[in-house]
Amino acid sequence: MLHYPLDNLLPVDAAGYYGTYGGAFVPEALRANIESLDFAFRRYVNDPDFRLEFDRLLHDYVGRPTPLYYAAKLSAKYRATIYLKREDLNHTGAHKINNAIGQALLAKRMGKSHLIAETGAGQHGVATATVAALLGMKCTVYMGAEDVRRQHPNVMRMCMLGAEVVAVSSGNATLSNAVDAALQAWCENPDEMFYLIGSAVGPHPYPEIVARFQSVISYEIRKQLEAQLGRPTPDYVIACIGGGSNAAGAFYHFINDKEVKLVAVEAGGHGVDSGETAASLSVGKPMVLHGSRTMVLADGMGNVSDAYSISSGLDYPGIGPLQAYLAEQGRTEVIVANDDEALAAARRLAESEGIIPALESSHALAALEKMEFNSEDVVVVNLSGRGDKDMATYLDSFS
Ligand SMILES: *Cc1c(COP(=O)(O)O)cnc(C)c1O
């Protein structure tokens, strides 16, 4: 069993700013909640009992460490040494469970009885419903009505796990509207409810909390590379970004190793200039969205635009403040993958390695087509989740 360090290696100040991004823009009704969350997190993240429970659940319940798989066929095709970090093999099928366990353990210790969450593809809703069942807590999940339709298998899973799923039909009825609804519910009942945010977004300290719980991914990558190659650092780490949590986890223990190139892949949708995109780093501007200042898709009037991607986990008009900062600093290289490129990458992985990736993860795989490697390069692609939930979309698009 691994003992995860969870230490703070982030470029964040005490007010929750990553450069000019971040902060905590919340209504007065939530200020006390955010403060008690911050206090509880800093207390328990250093508490040996909390840490042991986190380590044990990740090992025995989630199935960590997840394998670092050498993908021989991809390596031959792209002429580099390519590894896949298999977050798809986690219990519930994606990286989201790592953070859900951490936050739920925190909620329990704070005396909360009711977890609320937003979800896009449904992976975070399933992860939250799962930990709520595990820890004996009530669970309500807010989900855009359009996503309820697209991600029906995950809706059924949440119901089976005993969660209440609330379909939100405002706006374009996707993730961003579900976040608004969850924030609203939290404002109305802040004492019993714990808002379990699923990505590295929202007001401080959420982006930091999520990144630190997800840091288990890169902690394992270092150990696994050391064991398999005799060195802990790769040349590239590639991850898709929706809100930026799987990327935060995959990049975390490499942020200060400047020789490791970090590649963030955002969803282009039908193309960054098509008006139907989710590429907030490429075409967004700095604004406050859902409690933090970050890069946001907006129209000429400064109104938040609807994001579009074929992948429900990536069609969010914002991005976490850490990713906005790393991109601005040039610490990450940002690559855009469009719907058709992600679909083609999914098919390639399925047919060459026998792994069906989540549509979100397929965007990270699509970046391989756009990069130039030399034969010595060691590349880690974070395979954030599995594709079961996306089968209808895949089959439709290939027919
Ligand atoms: C939710 C999700 C994402 C996008 O969220 P991040 O916070 O950017 O990681 C990516 N991949 C999968 C499989 C997801 O479920």
Rounded average pLDDT per 10-residue block, the chain, 399 residues: 97 98 94 96 98 98 98 98 98 97 98 96 94 98 91 93 96 88 92 96 98 98 98 98 98 98 98 97 97 96 92 92 98 98 98 97 98 98 96 92
Residues 233 and 255: beta-carbon distance below 8 Å: no
Q: Is 244 in the pocket of ligand 1 (CB under 6 A)?
A: yes
pLDDT at 391: 93
Catalytic residue list? 96, 118, 384
**Which residue among 92, 157, 196, 199 is best mutated to probe the pocket of ligand 1, counting the most ligand atoms within 8 A of its Cβ?**
199
Residues 234 and 260: beta-carbon distance below 8 Å: yes
Q: At what angle do helices 28-44 and 175-188 cross, to 10 degrees?
A: 90
Residues 6+ apart with CB under 8 A from 149: none
DSSP class of 398: H
Residues 6+ apart with CB under 8 A from 258: none
Q: Is 94 in the pocket of ligand 1 (CB under 6 A)?
A: yes
What is the Cα–Cα distance from 98 to 131, expressed in whole angstroms?
10
pLDDT at 171: 86
Q: Is 355 in the pocket of ligand 1 (CB under 6 A)?
A: no
Place of tokens 């429900």: 312
Q: Please give the distance, rounded to the nearest whole angstrom, from the Cα atom of residue 121 to the centre of ligand 1.
A: 8
pTM of the model: 0.97
pLDDT at 9: 97
pLDDT at 200: 97
Reading the block at residue 271, the tokens are: 């193309």
**Which residue among 246, 355, 362 is best mutated to probe the pocket of ligand 1, counting the most ligand atoms within 8 A of its Cβ?**
246
What is the Cα–Cα distance from 19 to 326, expressed in whole angstroms?
9
Q: Please give the distance, rounded to the nearest whole angstrom, from the Cα atom of residue 87 to the centre of ligand 1.
A: 10
Q: Is 241 in the pocket of ligand 1 (CB under 6 A)?
A: yes
Nearest alpha carbon, ligand 1 atom 7 = 245
pLDDT at 379: 99
pLDDT at 151: 85
Q: Is 199 in the pocket of ligand 1 (CB under 6 A)?
A: yes
pLDDT at 298: 96
pLDDT at 350: 98
